[in-house]
């Protein structure tokens, strides 16, 4: 309170500075006169009395000064003064100021941008009421799997019945559906989500129009109900509220639209466009199966229950299920994680790696600016010494320097914030698969962060030169003989130290960039096991209503493939349920006929995939042994399949799989004969090939998948004619994900490419800054030692030995920085190990490359100053001193 | 070292000024200086000018207020007087001072006796 009052009174007085100065003068005058009068009364002359009065009063000017200090906000006044001075001195050297501001703006900008993203994605609470109570639940250790697994309907039902920790629980499953054209609109394949009726109420979301699902909707055989996402409602139904209550056709079945979700709702991602009640969509036997894992589970904890408690309870329940039903492939454990953690888990490391990189960039930027200021302080040594001699306090001189860097960083910070504003949009657009992107925006916290790092940068890069410039031998420069040969050693030491730190950080960045880049290259060069050039794929799903019988499905595919192959430009075409590299796959358990039954709880499990016989040839998947099933097989001997090489190796290690029969645990336990072995194909780029069984489409089980086409020409030009052929067969069918194989691979490597590219960009930036720093340091050293070099040359030193001398001076900090950086790079390599694919954190090639690059750049940067030193004319050098 | 001495002096000066104004009533700077010299019997030698920053500080804290007036020999002068909160402050500081000096006194007496 009192402090505030003083501040106020001082502020007021400062604003009426002139008047109160007069008042002070008047008061002091009256004091002096009264004092003098007293003296005169005791017999002094007027003159004597005045002098005595002044003596007794003390130094009038000092008193006035300390009075003013007490009166005014002294710091504010000097601040204004310092700022004016700083601005003047910066404007005088626009190049220097421009360079420093640019460096800082870049450093602050990228840090702000990335912090905003991290804050939005990782730390901002989910947009639901009491987000801390929301959790995801996973089964763990299902079959041979080690980690989290999606949940089977049967487990969910058990959890719901037996657990007491949760207020509400919901399953969420995904699917694709054909939204039929109405009123002349084209049919369209959209992603749907099936959920329990509790989902929206547990999340605390109210539809903007209509209503939530009710228990009556969420039953087998209920009237079909659908809730629209905001984007679908806006795009497809022109934001018309009257669509609520209307009928739409999904996969040729009628649904009543009962509600529209709010625009901000993008859980679990932005792709979910339409919501359906799960018990209506999924067959009851699948909802009760303990082996059919297909759902993610979202739940709200009862208030007061911790995640750990809930996790313990569910784990106990799940262990019991696992023991009671050894025949079902139920997980051994269950785990509860917070919903926000679940959403962002995958991107956390990647974001932290980038944050580490931009942090390094900012540090390097600060070091560089500090270095520039140390260099400039060198030219101002004498000025500073004179000011110190005249009574300028060290504090004041330090403050002046700080004001200057703070002014620079302030401008840099404002520019950086602007940069960040644009940068964030760019980041969101180019960093694919970023969850929660809608929650990223510049807010108070982000601005506070910018302010904080701006202040930090200013103080960091200002304090080093300020303290060094005003250290110990303050008056040394005045004493320094103008013929001094040594120059200011301590300042050179400081600059070398700064350069060492800069180089070390640069090397860390280069190593990180190298590792990520190599990892990306490895990922790109992974052999998919199939053709990747001139391949186009597109998804489609046959509605169960229209194609209920296996024969209808296989008839459709036969018809489609026949028409597609006749389209001009198509070299080959096939149909497969899961396109390689997309990460989609489906697995199932099976037995090998004639083998002793496995002990309970153990299973043989492999990926199951439907493919038409021509798929293998169309995609260049080699037949290693035997043959592909033929269309005629169906008539001759019922079920022939082919298996992948890894399947043959894993399940038939010492025997010939050809001719073996397997029983797949589908309805009716169908029996299949293995007639061929084909090469492995990767379902995901960064995984080992999965053991796979390929089934003929005419087996009739598969009503979904992707058409794959190859062409000799630009394959994308085929997209339209193919869709026309499709419309000729069934005008309600729509395709989705029309992608070339390059795009499929590009999609799954996009994150790696983005991270590697960005870190590389930062590393190159850092390298450039370090090179500039080295160049400046060597130039400075050469100038400092001109006299010494002149004498050396005069005494007969050769150009080469002079070069060595100067070079050694500059390269020592580089070498130390390089070694420190390599150690740091080794450590950071360990930290980002999870992000690396097929690259060891201590990859020697990368470390060697980085060393070479840094040394090469250092030689380049030192070439000019070193050359200049060796060409130094001794006469000129000595005369100039 | 120099700092701590100044601090002690500052605290003491504040107390003396407040006490003087309390005892005599509104007074100008010169009057306060003279009074301090009289009371301290010239033991407290200070430049009279140093009084003014102190007066200003006390005024900023709201313990004294100032007003231009006319001195006993018809000179324009700024008169300082104790405010309500100044009186409270004086009481508080007097008490703490007495407690302190009593303690120091006991301490010194004890040391002397041993």
* Rounded-to-integer distance, Cα A839 and Cα A144, Å: 26
Residue of B nearest to A61 (CA): B49
Tokens of A730: 């069934």
Tokens of A560: 């489609």
Q: Which of A4, A7, A28, A30 to mutate to test the interface with B (most CBs of B within 10 A)?
A: A30
Q: Which of B34, B56, B69, B80 to mutate to test the interface with A (most CBs of A within 10 A)?
A: B56
Is the bond preceding residue A268 a cis peptide, omega within 30 degrees? yes
pLDDT < 70 positions in chain A: 1-6, 9-19, 71-78, 181-185, 378-379, 391-392, 433, 469-491, 633-638, 877-878, 880-881
CB contacts < 8 A, A to B, total 72
Q: Which of A5, A12, A29, A70 to mutate to test the interface with B (most CBs of B within 10 A)?
A: A70
* Rounded-to-integer distance, Cα A807 and Cα A809, Å: 5
- Residues of A within 8 A of B50 (CB-CB) are 58, 63, 66
How much is the pLDDT for A565? 92
At A509-536, the pLDDT tens digits run 999 999 999 988 888 888 888 988 889 9
Closest-CA distance, A115 to chain B, in angstroms, reads: 44
- A33/B73 CB distance under 8 A: no
* Rounded-to-integer distance, Cα A206 and Cα A228, Å: 12
**Which among A151, A195, A194 has a CA at the least distance from the CA of A294?**
A151
- A35/B47 CB distance under 8 A: no
E strand intervals along A467-622: 535-541, 570-576, 586-592, 604-611
How much is the pLDDT for A470? 61
| Distance from the first to the final alpha carbon of chain B | 30
* Rounded-to-integer distance, Cα A728 and Cα A715, Å: 21
* ipTM for the whole complex: 0.81
> By the CB < 8 Å criterion, does A63 face chain B?
yes
The β-bridge partners of A626 are A676
How much is the pLDDT for A422? 85
pLDDT higher than 60, residue B74: yes
> By the CB < 8 Å criterion, does A216 face chain B?
no
- Residues of A within 8 A of B57 (CB-CB) are 70
* Rounded-to-integer distance, Cα A418 and Cα A412, Å: 10
Q: How far is CA A65 from CA A70, A775, B30, in A?
A: 9, 47, 19
Q: Which of A57, A62, A72 to mutate to test the interface with B (most CBs of B within 10 A)?
A: A57
* Rounded-to-integer distance, Cα A596 and Cα A802, Å: 84
E strand intervals along B1-114: 27-28, 64-70, 76-82
- B29/A57 CB distance under 8 A: no
Closest-CA distance, B31 to chain A, in angstroms, reads: 9
Closest-CA distance, B99 to chain A, in angstroms, reads: 25
How much is the pLDDT for A165? 92
- B53/A57 CB distance under 8 A: no
How much is the pLDDT for A821? 94
- Determine the length of chain B: 114
> By the CB < 8 Å criterion, does B10 face chain A?
no
How much is the pLDDT for A184? 61
Q: How far is CA A622 from CA A651, A680, B26, in A?
A: 20, 9, 109
- B48/A27 CB distance under 8 A: no
Model pTM score: 0.70
More confident of the two residues A320 and B46: A320
Residue of B nearest to A26 (CA): B77
Using alpha carbons only, how large is chain B's radius of gyration in Å? Answer: 16
> By the CB < 8 Å criterion, does B111 face chain A?
no
Closest-CA distance, A70 to chain B, in angstroms, reads: 6
> By the CB < 8 Å criterion, does A12 face chain B?
no
- A31/B47 CB distance under 8 A: no
How much is the pLDDT for A213? 94
Instruction: Give me the half-sphere count of Cα atoms (radius 13 Å) on the Cβ side of residue A683.
Output: 19
- Select from A6, A30, A58 the Cβ nearest to the Cβ of B49: A58
Tokens of A344: 């962002």
Q: Which positions ≥6 away from B51 have C-beta within 8 Å?
A: B13, B17, B29, B32, B33, B36
Q: How many CB atoms lie within 10 A of CB B45?
A: 8
- B52/A37 CB distance under 8 A: no
- A27/B62 CB distance under 8 A: no
**Which residue is associated with the tokens 């999606």?**
A150
Tokens of A406: 């703070």
> By the CB < 8 Å criterion, does B88 face chain A?
no
- Residues of A within 8 A of B59 (CB-CB) are 9
How much is the pLDDT for A852? 94
How much is the pLDDT for A2? 60
- Select from A6, A10, A56 the Cβ nearest to the Cβ of B48: A56
Phi-psi domain of A177 (left: phi exceeds 0; alpha: psi -120 through 50; beta: other): beta
Closest-CA distance, B57 to chain A, in angstroms, reads: 7
- A58/B50 CB distance under 8 A: yes
């Amino acid at each position: 309170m009192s402090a505030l009052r003083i501040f106020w009174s001082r502020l007021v007085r400062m604003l009426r500075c002139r008047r109160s100065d007069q008042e002070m003068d008047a008061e002091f005058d009256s004091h002096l006169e009264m004092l003098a009068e007293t003296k005169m009364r005791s017999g002094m002359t007027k003159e004597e009395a005045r002098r005595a009065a002044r003596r007794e009063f003390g130094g009038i000017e000092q008193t006035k000064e300390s009075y003013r200090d007490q009166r005014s906000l002294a710091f504010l006044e000097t601040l204004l003064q310092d700022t004016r001075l700083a601005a003047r001195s910066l404007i005088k050297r626009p190049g220097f100021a421009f360079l420093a501001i640019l460096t800082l703006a870049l450093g602050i900008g990228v840090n702000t941008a990335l912090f905003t993203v991290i804050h939005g994605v990782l730390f901002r609470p989910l947009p639901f009421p009491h987000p801390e109570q929301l959790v995801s639940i996973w089964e763990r250790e299902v079959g041979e799997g080690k980690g989290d697994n999606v949940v089977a309907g049967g487990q969910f039902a058990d959890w719901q019945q037996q657990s007491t920790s949760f207020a509400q629980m919901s399953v969420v499953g995904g699917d694709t559906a054909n939204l039929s054209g109405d009123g002349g609109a084209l049919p369209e394949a959209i992603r749907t989500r099936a959920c329990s009726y509790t989902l929206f109420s547990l999340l605390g979301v109210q539809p903007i129009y209509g209503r939530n699902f009710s228990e009556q909707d969420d039953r087998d055989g209920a009237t079909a109900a659908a809730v629209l996402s905001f984007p679908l409602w806006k795009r497809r139904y022109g934001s018309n509220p009257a669509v609520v209550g209307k009928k739409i056709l999904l996969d040729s079945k009628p649904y009543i639209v009962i509600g529209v979700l709010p625009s901000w709702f993008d859980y679990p991602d932005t792709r979910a466009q339409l919501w359906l009640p799960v018990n209506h969509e999924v067959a009851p036997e699948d909802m009760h199966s303990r082996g059919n894992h297909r759902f993610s589970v979202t739940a709200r904890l009862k208030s007061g229950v911790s995640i750990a408690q809930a996790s313990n309870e569910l784990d106990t329940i799940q262990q019991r299920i696992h023991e009671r039903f050894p025949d079902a492939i139920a997980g051994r454990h269950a785990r509860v994680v917070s919903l926000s953690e679940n959403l962002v888990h995958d991107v956390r490391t990647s974001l932290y790696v980038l944050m580490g990189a931009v942090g390094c960039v900012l540090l390097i930027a600060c070091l560089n600016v500090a270095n520039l200021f140390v260099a400039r302080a060198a030219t101002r040594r004498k000025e500073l010494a004179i000011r110190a001699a005249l009574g300028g306090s060290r504090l004041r001189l330090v403050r002046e320097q700080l004001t200057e860097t703070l002014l620079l960083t302030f401008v840099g910070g404002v520019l950086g914030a602007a940069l960040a504003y644009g940068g964030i949009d760019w980041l969101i657009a180019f960093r694919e698969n970023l969850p929660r992107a809608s929650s990223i925006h510049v807010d108070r916290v982000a601005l506070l962060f910018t302010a904080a790092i701006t202040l930090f940068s200013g103080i960091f890069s200002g304090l080093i030169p300020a303290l060094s410039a005003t250290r110990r031998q303050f008056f040394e420069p005045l004493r320094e003989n103008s013929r001094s040969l040594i120059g200011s050693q301590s300042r050179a030491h400081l600059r070398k130290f700064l350069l060492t730190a800069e180089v070390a950080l640069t090397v860390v960045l280069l190593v990180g960039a190298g590792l990520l880049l190599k990892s990306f290259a490895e990922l790109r060069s992974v052999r998919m096991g199939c053709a990747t050039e001139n391949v186009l794929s597109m998804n489609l799903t046959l509605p169960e209503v229209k194609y209920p019988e296996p024969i209808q499905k296989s008839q459709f595919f036969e018809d489609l493939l026949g028409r597609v192959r006749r389209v001009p430009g198509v070299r080959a075409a096939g149909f497969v349920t899961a396109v390689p590299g997309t990460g989609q796959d489906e697995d199932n358990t099976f037995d090998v006929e004639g083998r002793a039954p496995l002990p309970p709880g153990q299973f043989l499990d492999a990926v199951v995939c439907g493919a038409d016989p021509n798929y293998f040839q169309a995609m260049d998947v080699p037949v290693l042994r035997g043959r592909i099933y033929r269309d005629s097989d169906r008539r001759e001997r019922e079920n022939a399949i082919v298996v992948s090489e890894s399947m043959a190796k894993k399940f038939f290690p010492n025997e010939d799989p050809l001719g073996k029969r397997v029983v797949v645990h589908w309805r009716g336990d169908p029996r299949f004969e293995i007639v061929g072995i084909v090469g492995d194909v990767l379902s995901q780029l960064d995984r080992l090939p999965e053991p796979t069984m390929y089934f003929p489409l005419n087996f009739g089980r598969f009503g979904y998948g992707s058409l794959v086409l190859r062409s000799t020409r630009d394959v994308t030009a085929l997209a339209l004619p193919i869709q026309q052929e499709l419309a000729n067969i069934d005008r309600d069918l729509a395709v989705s994900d029309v992608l070339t194989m390059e795009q499929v691979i590009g999609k799954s490597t996009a994150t790696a490419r983005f991270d590697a590219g960005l870190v590389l960009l930062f590393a190159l930036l850092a390298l450039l800054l370090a090179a500039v720093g080295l160049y400046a340091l060597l130039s400075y050293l050469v100038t400092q030692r001109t006299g010494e070099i002149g004498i050396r040359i005069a005494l007969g030193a050769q150009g080469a030995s002079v070069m060595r001398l100067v070079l050694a001076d500059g390269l020592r900090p580089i070498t130390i920085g390089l070694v420190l950086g390599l150690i740091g790079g080794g450590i950071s390599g360990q930290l980002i190990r999870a992000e690396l694919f097929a690259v060891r954190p201590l990859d020697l090639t990368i470390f060697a490359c980085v060393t070479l690059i840094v040394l090469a750049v250092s030689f380049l940067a030192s070439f000019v100053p070193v050359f200049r030193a060796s060409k130094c004319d001794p006469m000129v050098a000595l005369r100039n001193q | 070292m120099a700092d701590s001495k100044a601090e002690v002096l500052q605290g003491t000066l504040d107390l003396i000024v407040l006490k003087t104004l309390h005892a005599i009533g509104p007074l100008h700077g010169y009057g306060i200086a003279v009074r301090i010299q009289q009371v301290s019997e010239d033991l407290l030698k200070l430049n009279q000018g140093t009084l003014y920053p102190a007066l200003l500080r006390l005024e900023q804290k709201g313990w004294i207020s100032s007003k231009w007036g006319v001195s006993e020999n018809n000179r324009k002068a700024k008169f300082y007087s104790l405010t309500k909160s100044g009186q409270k402050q004086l009481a508080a500081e007097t008490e703490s001072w007495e407690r302190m000096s009593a303690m120091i006194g006991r301490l010194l007496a004890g040391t002397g006796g041993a």
